[in-house]
Amino acid sequence: MIARGDLLWLGIGAGLAGGLVGGVLLGIGIALILNGALPGWALLVAAVPLSAAPGWVLALRLAQQQPPE
């Protein structure tokens, strides 16, 4: 059984890592767009799905710690 503390740290870690990754990609993408570089749009569009990746990886690690039933 997954403990409440594990879920709490999963949420905190996923939120922090996702916000950091998404914020960096958005910041770099907007800076590139404002300077006229078209690849900035690729970073801007990909920021949201890529910011979910750290939380997904943390959730997989937590699920793998469960003993098989």
For 19-66, how does the pLDDT look when each residue is reduced to its tens digit (9 = 90+)? 999 999 999 999 999 999 999 999 999 998 999 998 999 889 888 888
* pTM score above 0.85: no
pLDDT surpassing 80 at residue 1: no
Domains of the chain: which residue ranges? 16-62
Overall average pLDDT of the 1-25 stretch: 89
**Higher pLDDT among residues 68 and 37, named by residue:** 37
Task: Report the candidate in 24, 17, 23 with the shortest Cα–Cα distance to residue 53.
Answer: 17
Q: Give pLDDT, residue 45.
A: 92
**Higher pLDDT among residues 34 and 6, named by residue:** 34
